[in-house]
């Protein structure tokens, strides 16, 4: 802001808040809240005696039951509960794009704002510009990877109506403003500067000329949209899994369903979601604005059944131009065991409800009836449909946020401009990967590892000009277990590895895969028959696919190679979490300790949240004493996490690297294997059992492999 200094705000605001015991809206709770508000106002007026009646703003702080997202609405006692509900729902729909018609609205607090003191004087008007802003001198600024000569303006020379085109500098005694290329600084009559994209830099309609500055601007704006989607999803979700652990992903796709940009969420989600979006595009070519679709089917790009994806087309001026999508891991979607990851499952339907492509919203409104009917289907229906509905509504809110912001960006910069720069992002990603392939010192490489049950995962990588052929021939057949990984999972793993291999900052987008030919043998564990169980393929087999790809490319030693999945619950609800371990070392540095690696990027559940929401006590959580694999650079250490169950529950653990150690690379030694113990008794890598109150589960996660021969 460029307004003159020294104009302080003489009018101040006194804030006061009083917490209330959570209780649904009713006439009685409104009366109690009004009394608390009266006491709060009496104390505020004593502290701020100069306030007048018109300067007091009274607010009810409300939230939906099961969520932590509060909304302030005007509260002038005596206000009827129906009036407060209507205000809350209008505000919630505006902010998040939906309402929970059947969910209770709870009081959180009452709040007061008291304005006092004299109002600020009006800002003085600047004289109008009589011509261009004078250039005091020429200077140098670093932009676009190089120093360039730019004009330097003095702040005191600015007048109303001046427009300064970037790149340029505005200097004053206490600071400097740099206007980037592609932007314009417009000065209003009060001397306030407004920074906006420069209109004259917009490419012509459909223009695809290379403009690195504009591409960077559009990429940054779209990335911010995906990140905002993630924040909305976390704030509005009900389950601990999504709200606290952030086991979700949000992204933006072009009109063909190709991934353009994502927030830094879960790689195994992001690389597979494009297939789901393209399935929506094929199945619903006549979708309307405000409609949204959900699925978890592996045949439609799903990873495993708890991962439910909501896809919404983005319309601009009546035409569908983009898609937004949010994939979230639901705490339970049915199946033989709570948490929907039964270790002994052999068929898909044993793992829960399979959602075909289901229209879950029209005109932005969640179709609760259709969702409840779908969740009640099959031999093992969902245990807690209310939580599923609440999390789906949060995913809809994220997509509403993304669609609204993306449409606004198109209106601001021009739809053709945004689409052209999205295509340019894809082309740039392809060029970065092609350059990395050209630098790869090997014409071909082969690598093989295996899962704990002995199923081999093998890959042969061959350079083909500026491209690669990635062939998983030699990989074992689909086993009669849940370790099968849908093809979309392998695609996601390859996309992630190529981004690591490129060694340069770049978006995780579909263009990364353009120079690569992927071959997966039909009927293998990486392309299983459609009825096979897949719950562990997403979380365990995907990690082994990354291990063998990185091993073949010579990038780094194996990381822990598992997500150490723990689920427990009963017939009403389930909890699921994953545990980090050791990262593999590279030629440059040692592996990190106690982190989620490769295909997962979730948080661990905080002990306070875990113990508050579930019948469990966390007895220990620490870095393992055992070191990672020895080498010139050592692998990272694993973790130990000990649960004590406080009542009878069903427990399931799905893990790997309990018998086959994470490999070392270039002469480095393997990392230590993991270990599962139940009341001291060693358990297999994956198991399912009933536990009594007082039972303890100890998980010791694997360490990473070392890189290079150990010194000494």
pLDDT (tens digit per residue) in 505-534: 777 888 999 999 999 999 999 999 999 999
Residue 147 has pLDDT above 70, yes or no: yes
* DSSP string across 50-110: T--GGGEEEEEEEEETT----EEEE--SS--HHHHHHHHHHHHHHHHS---TTSPEEEEEE
Spell out the domains of the chain, with CATH numbers in brackets.
Answer: 12-116 (3.30.1490), 137-201 (no CATH), 212-423 (no CATH), 556-712 (no CATH)
Instruction: State the CB neighbour count (10 A cutoff) for residue 414.
Output: 20
Contact 248, 343 (CB under 8 A): no
Of the ranges 48-57, 553-562, 688-697, which one carries the lowest mean pLDDT score?
48-57
Contact 15, 113 (CB under 8 A): yes
Question: What pLDDT does residue 208 have?
Answer: 45
Widest CA span in the chain: 85
Mean pLDDT for the stretch of residues 551-563 = 95
pLDDT (tens digit per residue) in 602-657: 888 889 989 988 899 999 999 999 999 999 999 999 999 999 999 999 999 999 99
Please tell me which residue, 182 or 314, carries the higher pLDDT value: 314
**What are the φ and ψ backbone dihedral angles of 195, each rounded to 5 degrees?**
-95, 125
**What are the φ and ψ backbone dihedral angles of 407, each rounded to 5 degrees?**
-65, -40
Question: What pLDDT does residue 678 have?
Answer: 97
| CA separation, residue 705 to residues 498, 544, 582 (Å) | 21, 13, 8
Question: What pLDDT does residue 101 have?
Answer: 72
- pTM, whole model, 2 decimals? 0.78
* DSSP string across 628-691: ---SSBPPPP-EEEEEEESS-EEEEEE---SSSPPPPBTTPPPPPP-EEEETTEEE-SSEEEEE
The percentage of the chain sitting over the pLDDT mark of 90, rounded to a whole number, equals 68
Instruction: State the CB neighbour count (10 A cutoff) for residue 580.
Output: 24
Mean pLDDT for the stretch of residues 383-397 = 91
What are the structure tokens assigned to 589, written together? Answer: 């540095």
Question: What pLDDT does residue 202 have?
Answer: 47
Contact 514, 488 (CB under 8 A): no
Confidence tier at 206 by pLDDT (50, 70, 90): very low
Among candidates 230, 228, 232, which has minimal Cα distance to 97? 232
Residue 52 has pLDDT above 70, yes or no: no
Which residues are bridge partners to 186 per DSSP?
163, 194
d(CA 337, CA 653): 11
d(CA 549, CA 445): 10
Confidence tier at 53 by pLDDT (50, 70, 90): low
Helix (H) or strand (E) holding 320: strand 319-329
Of the ranges 201-205, 270-274, 440-444, which one carries the lowest mean pLDDT score?
201-205
pLDDT (tens digit per residue) in 583-597: 999 999 999 999 999
Question: What pLDDT does residue 44 have?
Answer: 84
Instruction: State the CB neighbour count (10 A cutoff) for residue 136.
Output: 13
Helix (H) or strand (E) holding 594: none
Question: What pLDDT does residue 3 have?
Answer: 33
d(CA 372, CA 366): 11
Among candidates 262, 240, 330, which has minimal Cα distance to 614? 240
**What are the φ and ψ backbone dihedral angles of 170, each rounded to 5 degrees?**
-120, 120
* DSSP string across 244-295: TT--EEEEEEETT--EEEE-S--HHHHHHHHHHHHHHHHH-TT--TT-EEEE
What are the structure tokens assigned to 498, written together? Answer: 């190529």
Confidence tier at 440 by pLDDT (50, 70, 90): very high
Among candidates 407, 29, 42, which has minimal Cα distance to 225? 407
211 three-class SS: coil
Average pLDDT, the chain: 89
Cis bond before residue 167 (omega within 30° of 0): yes
Q: Within 414-541, where are the H helices?
A: 415-439, 487-502, 535-536
Burial readout 616-654 (b: 16 or more C-beta within 10 A, e: otherwise): beeeebeebebbbbbbbbbbbbbbbbbbbbeeebbbbbb
pLDDT (tens digit per residue) in 692-712: 999 999 999 999 999 999 986
Question: What pLDDT does residue 528 have?
Answer: 95
What are the structure tokens assigned to 335, written together? Answer: 């199946």
Helix (H) or strand (E) holding 223: helix 212-236
Mean pLDDT for the stretch of residues 99-114 = 87
């Amino acid at each position: 802001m460029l307004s003159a200094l020294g104009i302080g705000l003489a009018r101040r605001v006194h804030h006061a808040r009083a917490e209330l015991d959570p209780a649904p809206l009713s006439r009685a709770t409104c009366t109690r809240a009004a009394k608390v508000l009266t006491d709060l106002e009496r104390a505020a007026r004593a502290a701020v005696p100069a306030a007048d009646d018109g300067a007091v703003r009274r607010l009810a702080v409300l939230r939906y039951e099961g969520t932590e997202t509060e909304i302030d609405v005007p509260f002038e006692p005596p206000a009827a509960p129906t009036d407060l509900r209507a205000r809350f729902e209008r505000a919630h729909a505006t902010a998040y794009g939906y309402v929970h018609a059947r969910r209770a609205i709870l009081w959180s607090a009452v709040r007061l704002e008291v304005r006092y003191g004299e109002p600020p004087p009006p800002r003085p008007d600047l004289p109008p510009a009589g011509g261009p802003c004078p250039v005091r001198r020429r200077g140098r600024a670093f932009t676009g990877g190089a120093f360039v000569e730019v004009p330097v303006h003095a702040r005191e020379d600015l007048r109303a109506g001046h427009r300064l085109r970037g790149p340029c500098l505005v200097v004053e005694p206490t600071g400097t403003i740099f206007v980037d290329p592609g932007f314009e600084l417009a000065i209003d009559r009060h001397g306030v500067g407004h920074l906006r994209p420069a209109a004259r830099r917009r490419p012509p309609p459909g223009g695809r000329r290379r403009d690195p500055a504009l591409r960077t601007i559009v990429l940054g704006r779209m990335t911010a949209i995906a990140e905002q989607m993630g924040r909305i999803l976390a704030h509005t979700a009900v389950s601990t899994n999504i709200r606290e652990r952030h086991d979700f992903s949000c992204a933006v796709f072009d009109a063909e369903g190709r991934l353009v940009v994502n927030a830094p969420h879960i790689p195994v989600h992001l690389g597979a979601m494009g297939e789901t979006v393209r399935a929506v595009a094929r199945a619903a070519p006549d979708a309307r604005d405000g409609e949204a679709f959900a699925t978890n089917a592996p045949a439609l790009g799903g990873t495993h059944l708890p991962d439910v994806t909501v896809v919404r087309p983005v319309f601009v001026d009546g035409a569908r131009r983009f898609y937004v999508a949010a994939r979230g891991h639901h705490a339970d979607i049915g199946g033989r065991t709570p948490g929907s990851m039964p270790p002994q499952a052999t068929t898909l339907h044993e793992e829960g409800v399979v959602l075909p492509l289901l229209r879950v919203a029209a005109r932005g409104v969640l179709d609760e009836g259709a969702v409840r009917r779908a969740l009640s289907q099959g031999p093992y229906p969902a245990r807690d449909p209310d939580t599923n509905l609440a999390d789906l509504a949060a995913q809809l809110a994220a997509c509403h946020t993304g669609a609204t912001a993306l449409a606004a960006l198109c209106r601001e910069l021009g739809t053709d401009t945004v689409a052209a720069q999205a295509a340019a992002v894809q082309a740039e990603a392809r060029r970065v990967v092609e350059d990395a392939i050209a630098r790869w010192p090997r014409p071909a490489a082969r690598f093989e590892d295996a899962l704990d049950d002995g199923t081999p995962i093998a890959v042969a990588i061959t350079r083909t000009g500026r491209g690669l052929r990635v062939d998983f021939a030699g990989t074992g057949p689909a086993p009669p277990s849940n370790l099968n990984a849908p093809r979309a999972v392998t695609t996601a793993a390859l996309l992630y590895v190529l981004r690591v291999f490129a060694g340069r900052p770049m978006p995780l987008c579909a263009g990364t895969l353009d120079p690569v030919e992927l071959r997966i043998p039909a009927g293998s564990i990486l392309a299983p028959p459609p009825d096979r169980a897949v719950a562990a393929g997403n979380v365990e087999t995907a990690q082994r696919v990354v291990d063998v790809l990185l091993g073949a490319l010579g990038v780094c030693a194996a990381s822990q190679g598992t997500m150490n999945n723990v689920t427990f619950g009963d017939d009403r609800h389930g909890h699921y979490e994953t545990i980090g371990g050791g990262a593999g070392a590279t030629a440059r540095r040692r592996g990190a300790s106690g982190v989620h690696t490769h295909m997962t990027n979730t948080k661990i559940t905080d002990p306070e949240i875990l113990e508050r929401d579930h019948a469990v006590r966390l007895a220990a959580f620490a870095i393992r004493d055992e070191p990672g694999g020895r080498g010139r650079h050592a692998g990272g250490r694993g973790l130990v996490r000990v649960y004590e169950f406080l009542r009878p529950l069903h427990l399931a653990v799905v893990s790997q690297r309990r018998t086959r150690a994470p490999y070392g690379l270039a002469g480095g030694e393997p990392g230590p294997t993991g270990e599962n113990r139940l009341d001291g008794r060693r358990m297999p890598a994956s198991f399912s059992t009933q536990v009594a109150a007082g039972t303890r589960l100890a998980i010791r996660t694997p360490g990473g492999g070392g890189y290079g021969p150990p010194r000494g």
